[in-house]
Every structure is written in structure tokens, then in C-alpha cells.
């Protein structure tokens, strides 16, 4: 997991998942956590590709998906920017979380865990970390 700093981002990629998806997820995270300010420019396709040592087309795929998500806006000849609408970011964050949670609960229930079991396990996880 070679980590690279590109602009304000610190990205690391592995090979167990499509590269472009990893970029998308890490960007989504950085935006949702507010590490990139609204309206801010993100690295150009070429810049990021060079920094991560991957093909520009791969970065393009990632950037297009972010735009479809409504998280970025691309301005021809200028670059790619985070949306300036806080609302879009918030909507995306909660929808995305909802989806992740439902998938998780489904898998756990499939294994026979009740919601109470789940709460307990998470609680234990939390205490382990401390």
C-alpha cells in the first residue's frame, strides 16, 4: 500500500479492488469528512495519475464517477472542483452510510446475529481500541 501525497490528498492503493474505485472511495471519504473544502480544486487527472503512478484513464474513470455522485464539478479547461453545495455532500454522506449499514446488518443477520449482539460486538471493538 504505497502511500503518495498528491496536493492535499494522501492516497494509497492496493490491488485487491479496482484502482479507480479506491480513488473514488478515498475521495468520497475526504470530502465527507470535510478534509477537502467545498469548491476546492482537486488534483488534475494527469497530476494524480503521475503521483499514483497509474494511467490517466484510470483516474478519469474515478473522476467521472465522483461527478455522477454530484460530489464534484468539472470545468472544461480549468480542472475538477468539489461541489460548492454542502447539501449535496450531506445527502451523499447519509445515503451512502445508509447503504453501508443495510448491507452490514443483512450480512450479520444472515449469520444469526441479532441487533443486540451486533451492538455488543461493536462496543467491545471500541473498548479494545482504547
Partner DNA sequence: GTGGTCTAGACCACG
Partner DNA sequence: GTGGTCTAGACCACA
Reduce the DSSP state of residue 81 to 3 states and report it. Answer: strand
CA atoms within 13 A on the CB side of 85: 10
Q: How far apart are CA 52 and CA 48, in angstroms?
A: 6
Given a copy of itself, DNA, none, residue 63, with its beta carbon under 5 to 8 Å by kind, binds DNA
Given DNA, a copy of itself, none, residue 8, with its beta carbon under 5 to 8 Å by kind, binds none
Least CB distance from residue 120 to a copy of itself, whole Å?
A: 10
The residue from 12, 29, 40, 55 that contacts DNA (CB under 7 A) is 55
Binding mask 12-41 for DNA (x = CB under 7 A): ------xxxx--------------------
Q: How far apart are CA 65 and CA 97, in angstroms?
A: 17
What does the block give as the cell for 8?
Answer: 492535499
Residue whose entry in the numeric block shows the C-alpha cell 490528498: 9
Least CB distance from residue 31 to a copy of itself, whole Å?
A: 10
Least CB distance from residue 18 to DNA, whole Å?
A: 4
Contact between 91 and DNA by CB under 7 A: the answer reads no
The residue from 44, 93, 96, 113 that contacts DNA (CB under 7 A) is 44
Amino acid at each position: 500500500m504505497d502511500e503518495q501525497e498528491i496536493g492535499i490528498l494522501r492516497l494509497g492503493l492496493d490491488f485487491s479492488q479496482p484502482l479507480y474505485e479506491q480513488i473514488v472511495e478515498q475521495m468520497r471519504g475526504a470530502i465527507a469528512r470535510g478534509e477537502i473544502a467545498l469548491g476546492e480544486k482537486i488534483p488534475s487527472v494527469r497530476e494524480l495519475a503521475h503521483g499514483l503512478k497509474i494511467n490517466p484513464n484510470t483516474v478519469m474513470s474515478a473522476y467521472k464517477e465522483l461527478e455522477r455522485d454530484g460530489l464534484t464539478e468539472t470545468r472544461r479547461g480549468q480542472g475538477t472542483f468539489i461541489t460548492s453545495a454542502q447539501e449535496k455532500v450531506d445527502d451523499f454522506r447519509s445515503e451512502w452510510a445508509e447503504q453501508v449499514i443495510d448491507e452490514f446488518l443483512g450480512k450479520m443477520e444472515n449469520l444469526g446475529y441479532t441487533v443486540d449482539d451486533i451492538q455488543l460486538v461493536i462496543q467491545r471493538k471500541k473498548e479494545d481500541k482504547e
